[in-house]
Amino acid sequence: MDKKAIAKYEIQYNEFDEYQSLSKKGKMNASKIEKPILIKTVLHNFTSEILNQRLNDNRRGCAVVSDELATWLEGMNNYSKSDQTSTYLSFWNSTGISIDRVSKPIPLFIQQPFLNIIGSLQPRVIPKLFTKNKTDNGFLPRFLFAWPDNLEKYPINDRVMNEGVLKDYNSFIISYIENNQITINEETGFVDSKLYYWSEQAKSYYYEWQKQNTIKVNNHKDELKGEIISKYDNHFARLALILQIMEDHSTNEISLKAVQGASALCEYYMENAFKVLDLLKNPTALKEILPEVKLKFLEALPKEFTTSQANALGATFELNEKFVQRFIADNTLFTWVAHGNYRKIIK
């Protein structure tokens, strides 16, 4: 959809550019052409200024998609002297923000920012990226972590994803957008949102779930764990809405099935959030997520060792030298002491 939008925008912009190049007399004899607006949804590589512009232009909102979320986290402040974390916190709450720039006399005001951030991240870099300032300010609790227990890589095989799944998802997205066009309220300038309501069963289910979640929050008050759990009141409602829209977007009612699904997802994401929290509290917890063969090899290594010792020991585990070299180069597990000499960080 973005590809089609960009192709259309390119034609419109070229026409606008040609109009702008006309003389004053030429413009008087030609039909006026306004500067086009690009409605783009998915962003990969961008500056904070462009992100704000895209959010302003696309009232449905945008998504940052990054195969390496570390790149996005590290690059968050590349284009600004100030930390952008507070801006992203506002995005999560859909709070209107005003952006003032010297180069632009008219401030950019985004009334209802809506931004998804989706990406992948290696567990070993989590302590480096989610530093204390990003846990104390509420940045971490807003993430939903999917962290599989089994991170083993498997050899290539003939098992493939059913193409029908992708086709159905593609059809769903296109159908939803085409059949749910947004309208802007002329008086307020806000999007006229479609409101969904709990069914009686769904409301009772959610109230009971939220009651139990509140108990968990109070059991961990004044702790980061409590802050994480408290955000699931919001996560629950958002997940229930997504599941309802995917099931049937023609209704305005959240079903029991949707809230049951939201409950299951919250349980899954919360468990993974606690794994992340344990890792932040105790970086040696990395040991617990190592595959069995790596864990046994790690435990067998002496506190200090040489490259040749590691290679010899690796051979007894049927690990080739390339594997051993990559493993001992992991600076979350080992410290380089001198040429060919290493020390274990995790015992």
Using the predicted structure, report yes or no on whether residue 288 has a pLDDT greater than 70: no
Considering the domain architecture, whether residues 24 and 52 belong to the same structural domain is answered as: yes
Report residue 124's pLDDT band, with 50, 70 and 90 as the boundaries: confident
Residue 82 pLDDT level (bands cut at 50, 70, 90): low
Q: Which of 246, 270, 286 is the last residue of a domain?
A: 286
Note the pLDDT of residue 346: 62
Q: What is the pLDDT of residues 156-188, one digit of tens each?
A: 999 888 999 999 999 999 888 888 888 888 888
Q: Which of 239, 259, 286 is the last residue of a domain?
A: 286
124's tokens: 């070993």
Amino acid at 7: A
* 96, 231: one domain: no
Is residue 339 within a helix (H) or strand (E), and if so which, with residue range? none
pLDDT of 23: 92
* Phi-psi group of 82: left, alpha or beta (phi > 0 → left; psi -120 to 50 → alpha; rest → beta): beta
> What does pTM read for this prediction?
0.76
Q: Say if residue 297 is in the same domain as residue 272.
A: no
pLDDT higher than 90, residue 270: yes
Strand partners, 101: 104
Q: CB of 261 within 8 A of CB of 240?
A: yes
Per-residue pLDDT band at 244 (split at 50, 70, 90): very high
Structure tokens at 173: 């997205």
Percent of the chain exceeding pLDDT 70 equals: 93
pLDDT of residue 331: 67
- Pair (14, 106) in one structural domain: yes
pLDDT in tens, 28-71: 999 999 999 999 999 998 888 899 999 999 999 999 998 888 88
If one counts the domains in the chain, the total is: 3
Report residue 153's pLDDT band, with 50, 70 and 90 as the boundaries: confident
- Indicate whether 155 belongs to any domain: no
Whole-angstrom distance, CA of residue 347 vs CA of residue 341: 17
With cut-offs at 50, 70 and 90, classify the pLDDT of residue 254. Answer: very high
Give the pLDDT band of residue 309 (cuts 50, 70, 90). Answer: very high
Residues 186 and 94 placed together within one structural domain of the fold:
no
Residues 108 and 188 in one domain: no
Would you list the DSSP string of 239-255? HHHHHHHHH-TT-SEE-
Q: Which of 94, 110, 145 is the last residue of a domain?
A: 145
Q: Is residue 239 predicted with pLDDT exceeding 80?
A: yes
Tell me whether residue 157 is in a domain: no
158 located within any domain: no
Is residue 323 in some structural domain? yes
Residue 278 shares a structural domain with residue 296: no
Q: DSSP code of 124? A: G
Q: What is the mean pLDDT of residues 78-85?
A: 61
Domain with residue 334: its CATH number is 1.10.10
Task: Please tell me whether residues 19 and 140 are part of one structural domain.
Answer: yes
Q: 97 pLDDT band (50/70/90 cuts)?
A: confident
My answer on whether 174 and 129 are in the same domain is: no
Range of the domain at 135: 2-145
Within this chain, do residues 10 and 123 fall inside the same structural domain, yes or no? yes
Say if residue 234 is in the same domain as residue 115.
no
**What value does the mean pLDDT of the chain take?**
88
**Pair 171, 275 in one domain:** yes
Q: How far is CA 334 from the centre of its chain?
A: 30
Q: Is 208's pLDDT higher than 90?
A: yes
Q: DSSP secondary structure string, 180-215?
A: S---B-TTT-SB-PPP-EE-HHHHHHHHHHHHHHHH
- Identify which has the larger pLDDT, 189 or 307: 307
Helices 321-328/307-316 angle, 10° precision: 120
